[in-house]
Every structure is written in structure tokens, then in C-alpha cells.
């Protein structure tokens, strides 16, 4: 107990937090959705702040190009192709051994979000795609959970904290003054743009300092939520054009009242309900496709599979995944298989292509 008081002393001195706020943080659960650039910063700051339980979910593994901005990872993680959730957990446990850190190597989808977010006091966005953001938003609105959205691409960043409208009994719905519910993500961004039309950090790059700024705003909002400082939440859409020195906040209160949001006004949660049979997702801008075979059967058979795949190219296996580089005619593909049955096929942005590569080398 004494060590905890020392550890968080400079934080519990803050008027908005105090000893009581510090205890509330210790009793809290935060869900980090995706542990790329934004997620790394959020996870590290919340771990250092003493949030009692951090749940990190990420579907990907560490690569060399991540190290420029994904602060929890190092060259060894990339060389070993460690899943990001695992590498993050290992690093964070060295930073703060007094908290619980859960790592989930998985993608977030409508079948598992309830399990991942069910007991979370706040959802923190470290996602790399809009579809999962709509899903997180559906979840947040349907369950009355705060969701700290953040995004950074190129030198432009955004942030907004969704404090969903409920039936009037949520802690941010209590008074008509500063403390009030906000529009949801879908009120602000109505429709998903066609695939491939929005820039991603893989096509136009991303400034590392921008990421730390956006994530720091998200963490600040999360700390306010977790310590019960609901009236202090920002409630504006933060817009940062960092290279052009332009930082502004957009008032968006009218977006709920004046809009006709299917999610928070009509409580129609189409992303949460999911679609059956959608087993392939193109990883935007990455020249890669994720497959989720209906009947994954290679889990636990990595060693056998590795022997077979070595006849086509280089194969590495660790306790979490198998990675194979295969030359298929003039093309080269990188096949990554996870223990949960997922596969990421790199070298194509066509779902059909990825399926046929998977069928050819892994099995159908």
C-alpha cells in the first residue's frame, strides 16, 4: 500500500483526482481497442496512472515499420514477430506490476465485443478502420459506456469522447448544465466512405508526435471518466492539423438533436448485430487481407504445417503464430496464421486472391 501511495503521489496531488480518484482508478477497467500507435500511448499512460485492469486487444504482430511510432515495441519484438498484445503486456508489466494487464490476440468483432467490453468502464480507440469504430460506437451506445474516439493519419488528428444518450440515468445525463450526453460517432460521421477512398497511415504516413498528442487527449478524457469527473469532459470535436499549427475544437452538440442517427436516436445497432459469412476483411492500405475461416483447423498443427510450407519458402513459428513467405509464380506472399484460426495474407488487397492463397498453402 505504501509503495502505491508513493508511485501515484504526483497524480493524487491533483485536485481533480486526489486519493479518492486514485482509488477509483485502481478499481477501474479500461479496454484498449487496438494497440498500434494510439493504443501504445494510451496503454502506457493508463498503466502508469494505475488503472487497475487494462485489457488490450490487437489482431496484429510487430513489424519494423511500427517502431517509428508504436512506443511499446522494440527491435526484438519485430524480429520475433510477436503479437502486439503480447509484446505490449510484457512491456507494461515491467512498468507497473501492481495492475492486471490482459492481452487478447484477436480482432474486435460483433461476436466477441461483449466479452471484451462487458465489464469495461471506458473504451479507448486505437483502431485502424472505420467499420470497427462503428461497432465500438454501437456497443458504447447500446450499453451506455463512454468511448474515447481518436484517429491520426498523416499530420491530421481527431478526438471526441462519446458519452451516449441513455434513458436519463447515466452519470453524464444527470443535469442540464455542463454535464450532458453527447452525439455518438455515427451522428458525426454518418456513412462509411467507399473502401480505399480515405487515406490511411500506410498510404500517406503518420507523424509520431501527432499520435502522442491525440492519444494524450484520449487518456485525459479516460482519466476524467474513470475518476467520475463527467462535467469536465471536453464534448467538442478536436481537430488537429499539426504541421500547419492549426488546432481547433468544433461544437457538435446539435448533431444529436438535429440529426436522425440510426444508432443513438433509433437504437438500431446494425454493426453490433453483424452479418453472417463476412469472413474476409481487406486491411486498408496495407496490401493485406485478414481471413477468418469458418472452421479453423490448423491451430495446434503449426509444426506439421511448417514442415510442409518450408518447401515453398522461409517459415518461422513461435508460440503465438506461424509466418511463411511463399513465392507463388512471380508474386510473393506472406502468410501469418494465428492460434485462433485467423490468417493475414500479405501481398494482395483482393479477398478472392487471399482466399485462394490460403486454400493453396494452408488448406480450405
Binding site for Zn ion (CB under 5 A): 184, 186-187, 261, 263-264
Q: How far is the CB of 261 from Zn ion (least distance, A)?
A: 3
What's the CA gap between 192 and 195, in Å, rounded? Answer: 8
What's the CA gap between 257 and 89, in Å, rounded? Answer: 41
Which is nearer to Zn ion, 186 or 346 (by Cβ)? 186
Tell me the C-alpha to C-alpha distance, in Å, between residue 315 and each of 77, 102, 289, 302: 17, 28, 19, 10
Whether 310 and 297 have beta carbons less than 8 Å apart is answered as no
5 CB burial (10 A radius; 0-12, 13-18, 19+): exposed
Q: How far is the CB of 36 from Zn ion (least distance, A)?
A: 26
Q: How far is the CB of 225 from Zn ion (least distance, A)?
A: 19
Of 35, 184, 187, 201, the active-site residue reads: 201
Known active-site residue 40: no
Which is nearer to Zn ion, 158 or 343 (by Cβ)? 158
Which is nearer to Zn ion, 184 or 321 (by Cβ)? 184
3-state secondary structure of 248: strand
Q: How far is the CB of 109 from Zn ion (least distance, A)?
A: 21
User: What is the DSSP secondary structure assignment for residue 162, as one 8-state letter?
Assistant: E
Whether 315 and 323 have beta carbons less than 8 Å apart is answered as yes
Q: Please list the active-site residues.
A: 201
Amino acid at each position: 500500500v505504501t509503495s502505491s501511495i508513493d508511485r501515484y503521489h504526483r497524480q493524487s496531488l491533483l485536485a481533480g483526482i486526489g486519493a479518492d480518484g486514485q482509488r477509483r482508478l485502481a478499481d477501474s477497467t479500461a479496454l484498449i481497442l487496438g494497440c498500434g500507435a494510439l493504443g501504445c500511448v494510451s496503454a502506457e499512460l493508463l498503466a502508469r496512472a494505475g488503472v487497475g485492469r487494462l485489457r488490450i486487444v490487437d489482431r496484429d504482430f510487430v513489424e519494423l515499420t511500427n517502431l517509428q511510432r508504436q512506443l511499446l515495441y522494440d527491435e526484438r519484438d519485430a524480429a520475433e514477430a510477436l503479437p502486439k498484445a503480447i509484446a505490449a503486456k510484457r512491456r507494461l508489466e515491467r512498468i507497473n506490476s501492481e495492475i492486471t494487464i490482459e492481452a487478447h490476440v484477436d480482432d474486435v468483432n460483433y461476436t466477441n465485443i461483449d466479452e471484451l467490453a462487458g465489464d469495461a468502464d471506458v473504451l479507448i480507440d486505437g483502431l485502424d478502420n472505420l467499420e470497427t469504430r462503428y461497432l465500438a460506437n454501437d456497443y458504447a451506445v447500446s450499453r451506455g459506456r463512454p468511448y474515447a474516439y481518436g484517429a491520426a493519419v498523416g499530420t491530421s488528428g481527431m478526438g471526441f469522447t462519446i458519452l451516449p444518450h441513455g434513458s436519463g440515468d447515466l452519470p453524464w445525463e444527470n443535469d442540464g448544465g455542463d454535464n450532458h450526453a453527447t452525439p455518438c460517432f455515427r451522428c458525426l460521421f454518418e456513412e462509411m466512405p467507399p473502401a480505399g477512398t480515405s487515406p490511411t497511415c500506410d498510404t500517406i504516413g503518420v507523424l509520431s508526435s501527432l499520435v502522442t498528442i491525440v492519444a494524450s487527449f484520449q487518456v485525459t478524457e479516460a482519466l476524467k471518466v474513470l475518476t467520475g469527473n463527467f462535467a469536465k469532459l471536453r464534448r467538442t470535436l478536436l481537430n488537429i492539423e499539426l504541421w500547419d499549427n492549426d488546432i481547433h475544437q468544433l461544437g457538435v452538440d446539435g448533431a444529436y438533436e438535429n440529426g436522425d442517427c440510426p444508432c443513438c436516436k433509433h437504437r438500431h445497432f446494425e454493426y453490433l448485430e453483424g452479418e453472417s459469412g463476412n469472413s474476409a476483411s481487406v486491411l486498408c492500405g496495407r496490401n493485406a487481407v485478414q481471413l477468418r475461416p469458418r472452421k479453423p483447423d490448423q491451430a495446434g498443427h503449426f509444426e506439421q504445417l511448417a514442415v510442409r510450407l518450408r518447401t515453398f519458402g522461409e517459415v518461422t513459428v513461435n508460440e503465438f503464430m506461424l509466418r511463411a513467405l511463399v513465392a507463388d509464380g512471380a508474386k510473393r506472399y506472406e502468410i501469418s496464421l494465428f492460434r485462433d484460426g485467423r490468417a493475414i495474407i500479405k501481398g494482395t488487397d483482393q479477398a478472392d486472391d487471399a482466399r485462394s492463397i490460403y486454400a493453396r498453402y494452408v488448406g480450405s
